[in-house]
Structure 1
Amino acid sequence: AGVDARFVKDGTARANAVRTGDVDIAEAIPVAQAATLDKDTLKEAGTTRTTSLQLNTRTGPFKDPGLRAAARSAIDSAALVKGVFEGYADPGAGIYGPAVTWAESKRVKPAGRAKPARPDGTSITLATYDNRPELPEVAQVVQQQLQKAGFTVKLEVREYSRLESDALAGKFDAFIGARNSLLDTGDPVGILASDYTCDGGYNLALLCDKKVDRAVAAADRTDGTGERQDAAMAAEAAVLGTDAVVPLAHQRIIAGVSTRVRGVLLDPYERTLVGTGTRR
């Protein structure tokens, strides 16, 4: 007959509400709470959301492509997936993950990457936010991996609204964030233009590379679904070739759904949950 919806900020409380039968559906169950749910009430699906390490290419140590390459080489995304996401994610393959079903068959290997330099104790500041409970833990593991490679890493964690302006201003050397690559329009070129071009409005890596801009512009001019996808993957390879971004993990939706409910929609774009076929 209808839907009663409420906002519950705490992920543990959302999981508890499913266990006690207080709610029929709870979305965005934290990875740490997944094991507490009965198997019959735990639902998961791939998403177009990717957790990435963005490296400040404009100022600081990561202005050097060799140190960016050293950081990229230091990251073990499989260890992140196993240790932090407890298997509820896929290792970082690119800007687009497995939920973008056409991407893997069209992926282009990055070319022209710099040779990794020796960090020799280079000091960097790594920032992330705690609105997504898994990100501080991801940052701690990345900090350890970078330290093992020879970097000296200071970690800074804040609430997102208190972090974004500083990140966009380049006040950190590295930034870990979760980004839905196809949320706004479903067009794969959109995120490349906003996040990795000289004029991009959400360019956390502060990347300004002529080769990347040309590749993104060429993709933007391309019509036809398949052709536009091919051009987007060529542009993705150009971005990854700069080592401005290191994809860490492609996240999965974890939802708690009562056994009384059927027809819940686990949308990889994270826009739909309840539809006309959802019933209790």
Structure 2
Amino acid sequence: MNHVRRRATMTGALMLASALALTGCFAGGSADASAGGGARIRLAMAIAPSSGLSPYSDDASDLSRWDATESLAQLDESGNPQPSLATSWKQIDDKTWEFAIRTGVTFQDGTKLDAKAVVNSLQKALDAKTRPSVLGGIDLKLSAPDDSTVRIVTATSDPVLPARLSNPQLAILSAAAYKADGTVSAVGTGTGPFKITNVGGTSTVTLDRYDGYWGQKAKAAGIDVTFVTDGTARAAALRSGAADIAAALPVSQFSLMDPKLLHEVPMPRTTSIYFNNSKGVFADPSMRAAARAVLDPKAIVSNVYEGHADAAQGLFGPAIPWAKDLRGNTASSIAPGDAKGKQITLATYTDRSELPEDAVLVQQQLEKAGFVVKQDIRQYSNLSKDALHGAFDIVIGSRSSALDTGDPVGYLRSDYTCKGTGYVLAQLCNPEIDQAIANASTQKLGPDRQKAVMGVEAMLLQQDVVVPLVNERAVQGEAAGVNGAVRDPYERRLVTNETTVAR
């Protein structure tokens, strides 16, 4: 038995006891006769809200996964934008687009969706003190020529604008969502088939079916969400029947689960070592090279993931099918320096159960190079502020490369530019890389854009900005009675109006 798995087994009894205690926190989930519909769906989510369920944060993906909010478009399985609150769109010229807004839609507070409401919602996102990452570096002029048309003029050509507007951070909300103090609330202000009726801090969320939904009424009476950041607890909740769907189940629990309940999905998500490129030990390229030289992704995949992941060849794994064939030379030419006695702090978070185990092996590997490693491991909501402000020398993080638009350029702009607004763990500001990302953003969807993306990947890896460790596969747990849950590699959909559970 390897060191990491032995560690997990030793703590397993205590964690399982805590997990079983948590099952009492889940709602009963029986059929709700008063709502005239099927059983409520109980979710065990992996990551607690870090920004009060603000749609302008990473919390927006949860709002979308619960079908509480909707955007103008949505991505299909191939990552191409499809109609949602916009029924169609057309490009008038290089910078001008028009979107036809769906008629007969009401917000969950009873107000009407029309072109002016869409313009108001998108303008609020543009004017936000902290813009949604999908709008980083993007300027738009919005207008409503009539009640069912939204015209958008971009400052520069934006070939992926419809895909950009599919982002959950650009959910269209009613006017009541936008408060005088600048905060935004999706509680009862979306357009989806489920309406948020209660938020229990970072512990629970309750959603009821919205019977005024413009599409087919939800088959389930509602959704009861519990945030269970410990992976063992999520698995126990599914096994015990306390949860119907459990997100991001850890590999350590697979042997205890009925294989029929486990559903594996290749993800455009990579676990990486993010060096702090701006200050500290790893501002020195030779120290980044020294660390990179001893890191062994294959050992991590074997020992931590037990083969349920892929040793990373780059930032873009098997879920991005064109990446492998277009990948050029990513080898670093930087000579490793002498790391002996260099003290560093390595941070990661507990919300993704494998990351603390990754940290154990990464520490061992770095110590072989002479680094003196101190770990700082917390829940993401407690760690993120420090991590995003450069408090650590290394952060081990898990990041989807398709979160913003389904197209990797948005991810690259958000995370690796001087004005990055997203997961800026690398603390990078390199004008040459900025220009390469800007050039990629001007290309139309297709081979030229793909080649430009892979050129940026090569620059990042050649300079040891980041070391990809694992291209991930998500494992979603679903009880035997669940039907119609979405297994979405883009992590935008989970429960829909079609999802049911039979008990």
TM-score (norm 1): 0.92
Structure 1 residue 259, shift from structure 2 partner: 3.7
Paired with 1:46 and 1:265, the residues of 2 have a C-alpha distance of 14
* SS of structure 2 residue aligned to 1:218: helix
Deviation digits for residues 120-177 of structure 1 (CA, Å, limit 9, x no counterpart)? 2211111112222221111111111100121111111122233222223222111111
Deviation digits for residues 215-272 of structure 1 (CA, Å, limit 9, x no counterpart)? 1111012123221111111111111111010111122111222344455432111222
From 219, 224, 227, the counterpart of 1:6 = 224
Which residue in 2 is equivalent to 1:258? 479
* SS of structure 2 residue aligned to 1:6: strand
Aligned counterparts, 1:134-173, within 5 A? 134-173=354-393
Deviation digits for residues 185-217 of structure 1 (CA, Å, limit 9, x no counterpart)? 112111111111122123221112232122111
Gaps of 5+ in 1: none
Is the contact made by 1:91 and 1:250 (CA closer than 8 Å) also made in structure 2? Answer: yes
Is the contact made by 1:37 and 1:256 (CA closer than 8 Å) also made in structure 2? Answer: no
Deviation digits for residues 44-87 of structure 1 (CA, Å, limit 9, x no counterpart)? 11111111111011111111111111111111111111111222
Whether 1:217 and 2:435 are equivalent positions in the alignment is: no
Which residue in 2 is equivalent to 1:272? 493
Closer/same/farther in 2, CA of residues 147 and 219 from structure 1, 3 Å limit: same
* SS of structure 2 residue aligned to 1:154: strand
Is the contact made by 2:343 and 2:371 (CA closer than 8 Å) also made in structure 1? Answer: yes
Which residue in 1 is equivalent to 2:451? 230
* SS of structure 1 residue aligned to 2:344: strand
In terms of Rg, which structure is larger? 2
Q: Which moved more, 1:95-104 or 1:18-27?
A: 18-27
Whether 1:193 and 2:440 are equivalent positions in the alignment is: no
Letter in 2 for 1:251: E
Letter in 2 for 1:11: G
Which residue in 1 is equivalent to 2:309? 89
From 219, 242, 248, the counterpart of 1:28 = 248
Whether 1:116 and 2:330 are equivalent positions in the alignment is: no
Whether 1:72 and 2:258 are equivalent positions in the alignment is: no
Paired with 2:246 and 2:388, the residues of 1 have a C-alpha distance of 32
Q: Which moved more, 1:170-179 or 1:3-12?
A: 3-12
Paired with 1:22 and 1:111, the residues of 2 have a C-alpha distance of 48
Paired with 1:258 and 1:154, the residues of 2 have a C-alpha distance of 40
Is the contact made by 1:113 and 1:241 (CA closer than 8 Å) also made in structure 2? Answer: yes
Paired with 2:362 and 2:331, the residues of 1 have a C-alpha distance of 24
Is the contact made by 2:238 and 2:477 (CA closer than 8 Å) also made in structure 1? Answer: yes
Q: Which moved more, 1:256-265 or 1:178-187?
A: 256-265
Aligned counterparts, 1:95-114, within 5 A? 95-110=315-330, 113-114=333-334
Paired with 1:115 and 1:137, the residues of 2 have a C-alpha distance of 29
* SS of structure 2 residue aligned to 1:164: helix
* SS of structure 2 residue aligned to 1:176: strand
Structure 1 residue 278, shift from structure 2 partner: 5.2
Letter in 1 for 2:402: L
Question: Equivalent pairs: percent with the same residue?
Answer: 48
Letter in 2 for 1:258: A
Letter in 2 for 1:17: A
Structure 1 residue 112, shift from structure 2 partner: 5.6
Is the contact made by 1:34 and 1:254 (CA closer than 8 Å) also made in structure 2? Answer: no
Q: CA RMSD in A?
A: 2.0
Aligned residues: 280
Paired with 1:226 and 1:93, the residues of 2 have a C-alpha distance of 20
Which residue in 1 is equivalent to 2:278? 58
Paired with 1:28 and 1:175, the residues of 2 have a C-alpha distance of 20
Is the contact made by 2:402 and 2:490 (CA closer than 8 Å) also made in structure 1? Answer: yes
Deviation digits for residues 1-59 of structure 1 (CA, Å, limit 9, x no counterpart)? 43343323143333233334444432221222122111222211111111111101111
Closer/same/farther in 2, CA of residues 113 and 200 from structure 1, 3 Å limit: farther
Gaps of 5+ in 2: 1-37, 39-218
* SS of structure 2 residue aligned to 1:163: helix
Paired with 2:368 and 2:397, the residues of 1 have a C-alpha distance of 22
* SS of structure 1 residue aligned to 2:223: coil
Paired with 2:368 and 2:299, the residues of 1 have a C-alpha distance of 14
Structure 1 residue 100, shift from structure 2 partner: 1.3
Which structure ranks higher in relative contact order (CA pairs < 8 Å, sequence separation ≥ 6)?
Answer: 1
Which residue in 1 is equivalent to 2:193? none
Closer/same/farther in 2, CA of residues 259 and 226 from structure 1, 3 Å limit: same
Letter in 1 for 2:469: L
Is the contact made by 1:44 and 1:254 (CA closer than 8 Å) also made in structure 2? Answer: yes
Closer/same/farther in 2, CA of residues 259 and 124 from structure 1, 3 Å limit: same
Paired with 1:21 and 1:166, the residues of 2 have a C-alpha distance of 37
Letter in 1 for 2:458: A
